[in-house]
Structure 1
Amino acid sequence: MRKAAILACIGLAACPLAAHAAVNPGFDVDAATRAYLNLLQGPARAKSDAYFEGGYWLPLWSTLIGAVVFVALLASGLSARMRDWAERTMRRRWLVPGLYALPFTVVTTIATLPWSIYTDFVREKQYGLMNQTFAAWALDAVKSFGIGLILNALLFIVLFAVIRRFRRTWWLIGSAVMSLFVAIGALVAPVFIAPLFNTYTELPASPLRDRIVAVAAANHIPSEHIYVSDASRQTKRISANVSGVGPTIRITLNDNLLKRTAPEEVVAVMGHEMGHYVLNHVWKLIGAFTIIFLLLFFVVSRAAPSLIARHPRWRVRGVADPAAAPVLLLLASICGLILTPVQNSIIRHNETEADIFGLDAAREPDGFAKTAMRLSEYRKISPGPVEEILFFDHPSGENRVRRSMQWKKDHVPGATIVIPGPIDGK
């Protein structure tokens, strides 16, 4: 049945006009789209564009700041001294990289802390998206740091063991290890990590829950548990997601979505999230990013040895030396920045598929269009085609509204253009 749903979705996506062209030949998709786009004008649109366009530069600045930190660790000899300390402290060689990872994580976190405070707190507060006080934000940051400390230690132990054991093909096996870590993280995070930051409760019985369960049942999706997170204590953003793999897969909506949107919008968003589940996007993303890891690890494996050899003052003995971590991460971060448009396009493709599925499943084109406009609080609504390819990991709001209105023309008998209410209300 799931295969049938996928094939149906693909068929509708590939040829909607051929199947439904005669339903509403007089419905003006352009006019219906403009009715929604007109909700965002003047200062509100300028603010949205400024926030999102400013974000174009954040990955570049993050990479440059990280590069400065990594080079400083190498040039000062601090990376080598941390390695020496780990070797003196730990007799078991295979655990030395994990011990090295502890001061390495502490130093790099402190060095980049001002930038993290600006991007994750100050900037969000500046644009009215942050609901937390600095103290509350800092507490969450400390939790993230603790988790990162443990994960980095484990990852360093495994990856450097692979590099030592497989001198020539470590990049191949290392990419598989990274994918395994991602899969395990996806399995564990919804149950053990996410609750450290938010409280998750069952969506209470209501007509809205009944509608969501009905959409899920029609598409053969388990709906025993529908979770709500208290994200409003942190952010103003509306959101929902499908997370986990296998037994931990769950569909979650945040309380902002419930508080700030109408029932038809919630159902439309949940239809989209169900699309991620039915179309196996979690596994597809893991597979796609495995290919990215392969390319990234290959480039690093070729560039790192020569870079280390040219700088004997770093006192790095080779790629298998834990002190080489800043070299490997420097090269990886540069490659990751270059590949950002590729990563964005992979995610955006999946989001487009989920949009199409959600429209078919929820049958709420106006609800989905209104939600797309609400997301314009922090996403530029009408980018150029190249701009969308390079910087957007979701379809633009204008494309989502237009797709919704086209679906309405093709599937809703007697469809008329709706003049929607303001974005800040239901």
Structure 2
Amino acid sequence: MAFDPELATRAWMATLNGAARAKSDAYFEGGYWLILWGALVAIAVDLVLLRFGWAAALSARVTRFTRRRGVQSWLFAIVYLLVTALMALPWTIYTRFFRERHYGLLNQDFAAWGSEQLLALTLSSLAVALLFTGIHAAIRRSPRGWWIGATAITIAGIAFFVAIAPLYVEPLFNKYVPLPDGPVRSAVLSMARANGVPADNVFLVDASRQTDRISANVAGLGGTTRIALNDNLMKQPADEIRAVMAHELGHYVLNHGPKMIIAFTLIVAVVFLVLSIALPWMLARFGPRWRVTSLDDPAILPIVSILVTIIGVLLTPATNTLIRTQEMEADRFGLNAARAPESFASIAMKLSQYRKIEPGPIEEALFFDHPSGHTRVLTAMRWKAEHLDQPDVR
């Protein structure tokens, strides 16, 4: 009988059923609501700061503390970010700790989880405060055309972070050690050399102390490029590891990093252009009530946050589609490089333990930033159908 990709896909789908499927569906579908409720929590926190005059009072304090505009912006942003994180702490604890523990996706106790969250908050606050300082300087320099400078500053900041993260940020949260010599290391480096990926080592990450999720990546830019896989992936069969790593190498070979930076440059430019129109309107309409009436005032940050939160929710389908498209391209590259469609399907089913496996087409388009398990398995089975007569297909 001829191999039927549709029937093969249905057979794979049947391996995840009952309570396991209901659990993964419930976890992922709950995430749809978290997008909305998370946005509402963030907006509510900003409105409290504005409505009760706390943002204006903080701005007055930092203005009295120093006359240097850049320092004023940075100090305001640091305090603002810490205060808003504290106000939203109950929501953060529920969504990132209790909910993850409930679904069996977090292995840390509260103390370990909390210490990592504190470190992440410290680093992100410093980075975002610097970013706001630069953007606010662009606003003061060019009240009408500031969105152009703000876009350049933001994209430069993102590119810088992508470049340094593998070397200086990620090791703060996990231990990276060279993968010992063996079949996995040899196979990954062989695929890397064959496809022009400039890496001579593979790193193993101790992610299992945090989660049981399978993960790998080819991160960095230029000289900071690094291939890494976590210890959860290392527990899988060799061909499944090859399938995952071939996918990750595909992101590099297909230039997804630079392409994503270009795409996000356009998105960020549109966001700042909208902000340049909406922000003066917000100040004119609500500024007197909030005691924030000038773009020079650092207290515009909570207003900017409200607008960015709203725009971000509205852009979710577009950004998801952008990322999902690249993931599909990397899937196809990975199938051609690893030539292990059954192993690719098997790992896709394992990833579906925390992703809804068979969403509707509209649901997948709106809420999935990766292809669904069904889409990935069907892709693998179609690839297999076209290569059945080739002896090197594993």
Range of TM-score over shorter length: over 0.9
Residue pair 1:98, 1:152 contacting (<8 A) in 2 also? no
Residue in structure 2 matched with residue 60 of structure 1 by the alignment: 36
Residue in structure 1 matched with residue 247 of structure 2 by the alignment: 272
1:89 and 2:69 matched: no
Residue in structure 2 matched with residue 6 of structure 1 by the alignment: none
Residue pair 2:155, 2:265 contacting (<8 A) in 1 also? yes
Residue in structure 2 matched with residue 291 of structure 1 by the alignment: 266
Q: Map of 1:4-19 to 2, 5 A cutoff?
A: none
Residue in structure 2 matched with residue 166 of structure 1 by the alignment: 142
1:93 Cα deviation after fit: 2.1
Q: Tell me the distance in 1 between the aligned counterparts of 2:164 and 2:191.
A: 27
Residue pair 1:187, 1:248 contacting (<8 A) in 2 also? yes
1:150 and 2:150 matched: no
Three-state SS of the structure 2 residue aligned to 1:382 is: coil
CA deviation profile, 1:249-296 (whole Å, cap 9, x unmatched): 21211110112x111000000000000010111111111111111111
1:236 and 2:206 matched: no
1:108 and 2:84 matched: yes
Residue in structure 2 matched with residue 206 of structure 1 by the alignment: 182
Q: Tell me the distance in 2 between the aligned counterparts of 1:220 and 1:178.
A: 30
Q: Tell me the distance in 1 between the aligned counterparts of 2:8 and 2:345.
A: 10
Three-state SS of the structure 2 residue aligned to 1:159 is: helix
Residue pair 2:321, 2:369 contacting (<8 A) in 1 also? yes
TM-score (norm 2): 0.97
Three-state SS of the structure 2 residue aligned to 1:252 is: strand
Aligned counterpart for 1:412 among listed residues 354, 375, 388: 388
1:153 Cα deviation after fit: 2.1
Three-state SS of the structure 2 residue aligned to 1:178 is: helix
- Over the matched positions of the two proteins, sequence identity in percent amounts to 49
Q: Tell me the distance in 2 between the aligned counterparts of 1:177 and 1:92.
A: 20
Q: Tell me the distance in 2 between the aligned counterparts of 1:406 and 1:201.
A: 37
Residue in structure 2 matched with residue 262 of structure 1 by the alignment: 237
Q: Tell me the distance in 1 between the aligned counterparts of 2:132 and 2:193.
A: 44
Residue in structure 2 matched with residue 304 of structure 1 by the alignment: 279
Deviating 4+ runs (over 4 angstroms): none
Letter in 1 for 2:326: N
1:281 and 2:262 matched: no
1:182 Cα deviation after fit: 0.7
* Structure possessing the higher relative contact order (Cα contacts under 8 Å, 6 or more residues apart): 1
Q: Tell me the distance in 2 between the aligned counterparts of 1:306 and 1:208.
A: 58
Residue in structure 2 matched with residue 351 of structure 1 by the alignment: 327
Aligned counterpart for 1:317 among listed residues 290, 293, 302: 293
Three-state SS of the structure 2 residue aligned to 1:56 is: helix
TM-align CA RMSD:
1.5
Q: Tell me the distance in 1 between the aligned counterparts of 2:147 and 2:108.
A: 41
Greater mean alpha carbon deviation, residues 206-215 or residues 331-340: 206-215
CA deviation profile, 1:206-249 (whole Å, cap 9, x unmatched): 11222222222222223411111101010110111122112112
Residue in structure 1 matched with residue 357 of structure 2 by the alignment: 381
Residue in structure 2 matched with residue 182 of structure 1 by the alignment: 158
Q: Tell me the distance in 2 between the aligned counterparts of 1:220 and 1:137.
A: 38
**Matched pairs, number:** 392
1:29 and 2:8 matched: no
1:363 and 2:355 matched: no
1:414 Cα deviation after fit: 7.2
Residue in structure 1 matched with residue 93 of structure 2 by the alignment: 117
Letter in 1 for 2:46: F
Q: Tell me the distance in 1 between the aligned counterparts of 2:107 and 2:71.
A: 41
TM-score (norm 1): 0.90
